[in-house]
Amino acid sequence: MGFAHIDHHRQIRQGFPEVIYCPGKTTEQIIKIFESLAAKGNNVLATRAEPAVFKALAKTKKFPKARYEETAKAIVLEQKKLPISKTALPIVTAGTSDLPVAAEAKVTAEIMGQRTELICDVGVAGIHRLFGHLKKLQKANVVIVIAGMEGALASVVGGLVSCPVIAVPTSVGYGSSFKGLSALLTMLNSCAAGVTVVNIDNGFSAAVTATLINRKIEEGK
């Protein structure tokens, strides 16, 4: 049942969507779980969903409001409108190849009520492009940084902002990147204080963590 271990009442209280992790499940299983979760009236997010799964779901004609986010490979069903965050959550990518992970983070944060801003292609190979976005980043309560290759962007951003940075290593890169392991190790060894790292390609977890931080800060204000 995906993240079914999360208490249902806790999800409602904190504005969590009902979440299905699709890999490892058959299309029939996903649809059955989707129907069960949607029946509770909450928002539903199916991550890492192939287009064929959404086509099969659409054929049931039970969820006309469900949409497929192609880049994120996510099925989104919004049944409840949440208050929108006052502060934008920047999602920063080193390169265009990191967009699928960034899109997953964006979709997840938005279904949890966050206002997001996607800042792309500002990696260390073109670091001058980052400086045009510094004011936005320095106004944020928390920043998500997504990078493959050597993953150095997280340290750079961490050294420029005074808020938590959630770093996401991606599996983008040539052979010696070891499918994201190099970026993961670089981020874990960051000398910039305030950088916290999630698993490789885990845009979902980064978005949930950043959302919880942003909510707490805004509640305090």
**pLDDT, tens digit, 9 for 90 and up, residues 114-156:** 999 999 988 888 889 999 999 999 999 999 999 998 889 999 9
In 10 A of CB 114, how many CB atoms?
24
Please report which helix (H) or strand (E) contains residue 57, including its range.
helix 51-59
Q: What is the mean pLDDT of residues 40-55?
A: 95
Judge whether 137 and 157 are in contact, CB under 8 Å: yes
Instruction: Give the tokens for residue 119.
Output: 């800042």
Count Cβ neighbours within 10 Å for each residue of 170-209 and write b for 16 or more, e otherwise: bbbbeeebebbebbbebbeebebebbbbbebbbbbbbbbb
pTM: 0.89
Of 12 and 82, the structure prediction assigns the larger pLDDT to 82
pLDDT, position 5: 42
Half-sphere exposure of 71 (CA within 13 A, CB side): 14
CA 117 to chain centre: 12
Please give the single-letter amino acid code of residue 53.
V
Query: Closest Cα partner for 6 from 23, 24, 18, 15?
Result: 18
Query: If you ran DSSP here, which 8-state letter would residue 25 be given?
Result: S
Q: pLDDT band for position 6 (50/70/90)?
A: very low
- Distance from C-alpha of 60 to C-alpha of 104, rounded to nearest angstrom: 25
For residue 95, pLDDT over 70 is answered with yes
Residue 26, SS3 per DSSP: coil
Is pLDDT at 42 greater than 50 in this prediction?
yes
Q: Is the pLDDT of residue 4 over 70?
A: no
For residue 169, the model assigns a pLDDT of 97
Q: Provide the pLDDT confidence category of residue 2 given band limits of 50, 70 and 90.
A: low
